[in-house]
Amino acid sequence: MDTTNHYDAIVIGAGPAGLTAGIYLSRARLKTLILNEGTVGGQMVLTHEIANYPGVENISGYQLANIMKKQAMRFGCDIKSNIIIENIELEGERKRVTLNDERTFTANSVIITTGGRSRTLGMPGEDRFKGKGISYCATCDGDFFTGKEIVVVGGGNSALEEAVSLTKYASKITIVHQFDHFQAFEHAIEEASHHPKINFVMESTITAFHGTENLEGVDIKNLNTGETTYFKTDGVFIFIGYIPNTESLKGLLALNQWGEIIVKSDMSTNIEGVFAAGDSIAKRYRQVTTAVGDGTVAALAVSNYLHEMKSRQKNLNPA
């Protein structure tokens, strides 16, 4: 029995970039399949409230993801979620994706939108209070902590720059860093060091998160003395790195030193017919809106690529 299904485009990943690509491709009447290994929506569904999406005043990440999903399906996009991808073949005109249940899907083009994840501390209570006092995005959640005292974890450029940006909202910020020095540019260190709202707890780390419904405090351990103290706080922002979900793509696509997919301005990769968008690509800013923009560009580029492919085939095989 033939278990192979052919599409014009396969989108791998159903976060905001993948769903947007699915909307644009399907609306262009291209046969499109979105394959997603988890819940549709990606990291977006973990956001309790999105207040900076243009044209939408207040909406949860789950609600926005559900609207995008329904929109893509209304235009005819086929979406398969909670599946496991066993193998991906990107070379040649016909790309191939095989699932662990032996179903195989082929397409003339592929858009990779596998997203990524913020590096976590992995300490007790962290999963429980994600979106309930713990955040990994200052731009997304900063205004929810207006007038409150918060903690920022990290010592790189992101941690210090985001700490300074959070001073627009928070009344006091305590930066907790495991070393006695920062791994950031000098200008970022100076700006944070001289800000009256920012304090520092060096050579220390958070070992636990506490609260009832929402985060109320953390345990901070001094790495020199071993002493642990309880620190009351309204929120914790963690900036200790970002991990793109590209482990399965190593050796298949050109990645940079951080594992991010290298793309051109039209979101094309080093392989013809393969594009990438969203948080898995090499870029500085990661927001729902930037992922949507990436997905739009990738879908339009795919439409153009498929049109040119059909033109080439027609020229090679004239009627």
Indicate which residues carry an active-site annotation: 137, 140-141
Listed in sequence order, the residues at least 6 apart from 319 whose beta carbon sits closer than 8 Å to its beta carbon are: none
- Check: CB of residue 152 under 8 Å from CB of residue 165: no
Fill in the amino acid letter for 149: E
Nearest-5° Cα angle at 129, 123 to 130: 90
Listed in sequence order, the residues at least 6 apart from 149 whose beta carbon sits closer than 8 Å to its beta carbon are: 170, 171, 172, 173, 174, 232, 233, 234
Alpha carbon distance 24, 30 (integer Å) = 9
Main-chain phi, psi angles of 202, to 5 degrees: -95, 165
Task: State how beta strands 228-232 and 215-222 pair.
Answer: antiparallel
Helices H, strands E: what count in the chain?
Answer: 6, 17
How much of the chain is helix, strand and coil, in % rounded to 5? 30, 30, 40
Dihedral angle computed from the Cα positions of residues 306, 247, 45 and 302, in that order, rounded to the nearest 10 degrees: -10
226: left (phi over 0), alpha (psi -120 to 50) or beta: left
Fill in the amino acid letter for 99: L
Alpha carbon distance 150, 74 (integer Å) = 43
